[in-house]
Amino acid sequence: MAHQDPIARLVSQLARLPGIGEKTANRLAFHIIKEPAAFAQELSEALLGVKERIGLCTTCCNLTETDPCWICQSEKRDSSVICVVEGTPDLMAIERTGEFMGRYHVLHGVLRPLEGVGPDEIRVRELVQRLSKPEQGVREVIVATNPNTDGETTALYIARLLRPFEVKVTRIASGIPIGGDLEYTDRVTLGRALLGRREI
Amino acid sequence: MAHQDPIARLVSQLARLPGIGEKTANRLAFHIIKEPAAFAQELSEALLGVKERIGLCTTCCNLTETDPCWICQSEKRDSSVICVVEGTPDLMAIERTGEFMGRYHVLHGVLRPLEGVGPDEIRVRELVQRLSKPEQGVREVIVATNPNTDGETTALYIARLLRPFEVKVTRIASGIPIGGDLEYTDRVTLGRALLGRREI
């Protein structure tokens, strides 16, 4: 099977996916071959559909089929609070908690100065533009980037950038995960948990 | 994102693949969204191509684009030896060794009496038909099913089935893998390695 036959082609295409090595790609390919044709057909349509029909919401930059996205459209959401996230998966994670009824802003990345990812590569300008319109009535911006170096840098950058506006900029809490164990918590997290202590 | 939007649809389609859970499907989907449209396009074409263009070789039952397959077509392969394998991935593994220059027969499964997989569910009839034609000149059938319960059962079944024909039925060797360690070899394998000892 030296020539690029359809099986080898499918294997090499699957192996381009992140975290899928050649062995897994092989296993997946032979599974797809074994399944009825509808399986490959449906997966193929889903692949094309996602690229054809998904774009960015012009308000919050979320990935969406409609513009504005369903969250920006919803009358039930509180427009005075904007939660800033790195990507749509983070937005979906917050939605799953059911704890947040405000709106979002999706950055599509974080600042990575060492890798040359600056403010122009992520959607911060759109956030500033959004806050520039006083009719939006935004009171609070919650920065929910990940609690790692790049996420913290981005949070500080956003806080500084929004200083001219009359909004409160907050950061999600870091600490010991629920169900976690003090004994096995790394010292940075434990330190943060102490600093972020709250009255009960 | 409660309704079945294109992202949710892609995630659920990807999650149907074996070994791909919902989290991995999510990660893959967002990777696909981030990549240029050509990425999804090429993967989609490869998926359809494999189902449209791949069929079974009418001689050896191998998955193939052409009929007969490239191995059955090749003049360089020895028609007098047939290696019986469970599936095309096994055939490809044997091809990679470069040690076998005969032809193949692909069963597409093994006997699994407990799960109701009998001889009609795998391609043994095709093997018998192939041997029924004396002009093929088959001298040896090497049964290269996996050395586990189902593979051994299938090997014994094939050996019994081919008894009426004037062919030698052989089984691939089991033993300690090259680079392996006697100390850490399980006792069944070590027992097999002793039984299968050869003069040097």
Would you say A106 and A85 are in contact if contact means Cβ atoms under 8 Å apart?
Answer: yes
Q: Are residues A44 and A108 in the same domain?
A: no
If one counts the domains in chain B, the total is 2
Can you tell me whether residue A81 is helix, strand or coil?
strand
Among A42, A51, A92, beta carbon nearest to B1: A92
Q: Is residue A27 part of a domain?
A: yes
Among A6, A26, A43, beta carbon nearest to B13: A43
Would you say A143 and A169 are in contact if contact means Cβ atoms under 8 Å apart?
Answer: yes
What CATH number has the domain bearing residue B160? 3.40.1360.10
Give CA angle at B71 (B65, B73), nearest 5°. 80
Cβ neighbours of A64 in B, within 8 Å = 5
Q: Is A13's CB within 8 Å of B42's CB?
A: yes
Q: Are residues B91 and B73 in the same domain?
A: yes
Q: How far apart are CA B126 and CA B128, in angstroms?
A: 6
Tokens 């005969």 — which residue? B102
Among A26, A37, A39, beta carbon nearest to B89: A26
**Which A positions 108-147 lie with beta carbon below 8 A of chain B?**
none
Can you tell me whether residue B102 is helix, strand or coil?
strand
What is the arithmetic mean of pLDDT over A156-183?
Answer: 90
pLDDT tens string A36-45: 999 999 999 9
Cβ neighbours of B53 in A, within 8 Å = 6
Q: Are residues B146 and B72 in the same domain?
A: yes
pLDDT for position A194: 85
Would you say A107 and A82 are in contact if contact means Cβ atoms under 8 Å apart?
Answer: no
Put simply, whether A38 touches B (Cβ < 8 Å) is: no
What is B28-77 written as a DSSP string? HHHHHHHS-HHHHHHHHHHHHHHHHH-EE-TTT--EESSSS-HHHH-TTS
Q: What ipTM was predicted for this assembly?
A: 0.76
Q: Is residue A197 part of a domain?
A: no
Full domain range(s) for residue B164? 63-171
Q: Are residues B119 and B151 in the same domain?
A: yes
What is A25-61 written as a DSSP string? HHHHHHHHHHS-HHHHHHHHHHHHHHHHH-EE-TTT-
Neighbours of A90 (CB within 10 A): 18
What is the arithmetic mean of pLDDT over A123-143?
Answer: 91
pLDDT tens string A180-192: 888 888 888 888 8
What CATH number has the domain bearing residue A14? 1.10.8.420
- In single-letter form, the type of residue at position A75 comes to E
Q: Are residues A48 and A124 in the same domain?
A: no
Neighbours of A142 (CB within 10 A): 20
Q: Is residue B159 part of a domain?
A: yes
pLDDT bucket at B165, cuts 50 / 70 / 90? very high
Q: Are residues A37 and A67 in the same domain?
A: no
Among A30, A46, A70, beta carbon nearest to B13: A46
Cβ neighbours of B39 in A, within 8 Å = 16
Q: Is the pLDDT at A132 greater than 60, yes or no?
A: yes
B interface test, pick of A12, A16, A17 with most B CB neighbours within 10 Å: A17
Put simply, whether B93 touches A (Cβ < 8 Å) is: no
User: What tokens were used for B133?
Assistant: 């034609």
Q: Are residues A103 and A44 in the same domain?
A: no
Q: Is residue B192 part of a domain?
A: no
Q: How many helices (H) and strands (E) does chain B have?
A: 8, 6
As a whole number, the mean pLDDT across chain A is: 91
**Omega of the bond leading into B68 within 30 degrees of 0 (cis):** yes
Q: Are residues A31 and A111 in the same domain?
A: no
* CA distance to partner chain B, nearest, from residue A113 (Å): 21
Q: How far apart are CA B79 and CA B104, in angstroms?
A: 9
Among B41, B54, B92, beta carbon nearest to A6: B54
Put simply, whether B65 touches A (Cβ < 8 Å) is: yes
Would you say A196 and A174 are in contact if contact means Cβ atoms under 8 Å apart?
Answer: yes
Can you tell me whether residue B136 is helix, strand or coil?
helix
Q: Are residues B157 and B69 in the same domain?
A: yes
B interface test, pick of A51, A63, A96 with most B CB neighbours within 10 Å: A51
Q: How far apart are CA B97 and CA B144, in angstroms?
A: 14
- In single-letter form, the type of residue at position A191 comes to G
pTM score, whole prediction: 0.75
Q: Are residues A44 and A119 in the same domain?
A: no
Q: Is residue A142 part of a domain?
A: yes
pLDDT for position B4: 65
Would you say A130 and A136 are in contact if contact means Cβ atoms under 8 Å apart?
Answer: yes
Q: Is residue B105 part of a domain?
A: yes
Q: Is residue A186 part of a domain?
A: no
How crowded is the C-beta side of A187, counted as CA atoms within 13 Å?
0
pLDDT tens string A79-103: 999 999 999 999 999 998 989 999 9
Q: Is A47's CB within 8 Å of B10's CB?
A: yes
Q: Is the pLDDT at A4 greater than 80, yes or no?
A: no
Cα A61 to Cα A87, A130, A146, B100: the distances in Å are 9, 11, 18, 57
Q: Is residue B195 part of a domain?
A: no
Q: Are residues B89 and B157 in the same domain?
A: yes
pLDDT for position B1: 41
pLDDT tens string A144-164: 999 899 999 999 999 999 999
Cβ neighbours of B12 in A, within 8 Å = 46
Q: How far apart are CA B12 and CA B29, in angstroms?
A: 10
Q: Are residues B23 and B107 in the same domain?
A: no
Can you tell me whether residue A115 is helix, strand or coil?
helix
